Amino acid sequence: MKPPVLLFVSEYDAPTEWREAIAAADPGIEFRAYPEMGDPGEIDAALVWAPPAQVMAACTNLKMVSILGAGADAAIGATWLPEGVPVCRIVDDGMQRMMVAYVVHAVLAIHRDASRTMKARRERRWDYVHPRDTAERRVGVMGLGNLGGAAAKAIAMLGFPVSGWSRSPKAIPGIACFSGMDSLATFLEGCDVLVVLLPLTPETRGILDAAALAHLPEGAFVVNAGRGALLDEAALEAEIRSGRIAGATLDVFQEEPLPEGHPFWDLEEVMITPHHASVPNPMTAAPQVAANVRRAVAGEPLLNVIDPSRGY
């Protein structure tokens, strides 16, 4: 019997690391890295980020696509996704740790006013500001899934009062949990720092519009590491320019890379990071990809499969 064949296609991820990690997870899987794809009809599964449509269309026996990331928005409805092929995402401890580190860093930098300290240091000024206890700043996390749930717990461990918002009701010890659109305004009203870790779906696109941002308390901060299109960038800019929202740490944008003339570049209150909050770690993520290749070939249920009707 021929070994299952996994095609790797990404401009952003290292094929060598993935080749080694897949071989370590399951040496019986044949790994091919695009453009060396051999006979496309032999390919059973694909591990991809933004692949060319014609490459995917050539894989006429494709049984599963695994996205090189946690967000499925780039795949759902994408022109490159062959009809009827299920999409899986990566749910990985390494990726979760990386996102938790990003969020904790962002929240602490806001809480300790790191940009003010660094500015004073550059200007050789001793700029004493009395520090505040973490218990005095409320942090709210939108999205309590694999990444948001872990980030919320890590922030709570630092002593911040933490709330969270999700689609379905949750009970997480130490986190005040809200769910559904009816509770969104109340949730936002209690966020001195709002951390956004929602997936981008038809329901969440543009969810942080001017009306939603207006519910944040005076002097609040926004941290968005979910997707750029969750947030109305012009509305956030207006809130920051007016001084009502104190600042933002943004890893994701409606257009990436952030265009040269974008107003955020002129706002010192906006910390810009280049969509680098978290990526899959090949060594920790490869076992689930390898298991899904086997499952797809055997016609068994897949792990971490996206529900196209929910969009995540």
Ligand X SMILES: NC(=O)c1ccc[n+]([C@@H]2O[C@H](COP(=O)([O-])OP(=O)(O)OC[C@H]3O[C@@H](n4cnc5c(N)ncnc54)[C@H](OP(=O)(O)O)[C@@H]3O)[C@@H](O)[C@H]2O)c1
Are the C-beta atoms of residues 200 and 229 closer than 8 Å to each other? Answer: yes
Q: Which of 32, 89, 111, 227 is catalytic?
A: 227
Are the C-beta atoms of residues 289 and 47 closer than 8 Å to each other? Answer: yes
| Interface positions with ligand X (CB under 6 A) | 69-71, 99, 143-148, 166-168, 197-201, 203-204, 225-227, 251-252, 275, 277-278, 312
Shortest approach of ligand X to residue 132 CB, angstroms? 27
Shortest approach of ligand X to residue 172 CB, angstroms? 10
Shortest approach of ligand X to residue 215 CB, angstroms? 15
Nearer to ligand X, 259 or 274 (CB): 274
Residue 227 known to be catalytic: yes
Nearer to ligand X, 56 or 225 (CB): 225
- Contacts for 298 with CB less than 8 Å, ≥ 6 apart: none
Residue 262 known to be catalytic: no
Cβ atoms within 10 Å, residue 265: 11
Nearer to ligand X, 89 or 295 (CB): 89
Shortest approach of ligand X to residue 149 CB, angstroms? 7
- Contacts for 234 with CB less than 8 Å, ≥ 6 apart: none
Q: Is the bond leading into 82 cis (omega within 30 degrees of zero)?
A: no
Nearer to ligand X, 10 or 134 (CB): 10
Strands in the chain per DSSP E: 5-9, 30-33, 45-48, 64-67, 87-88, 139-142, 162-166, 175-179, 193-196, 220-224, 245-250, 270-272
Q: What φ, ψ does residue 231 adopt, rounded to 5°?
A: -120, 135
Q: How many Å apart are CA 297 and CA 105, to the nearest integer? A: 41
Catalytic residues: 227, 275
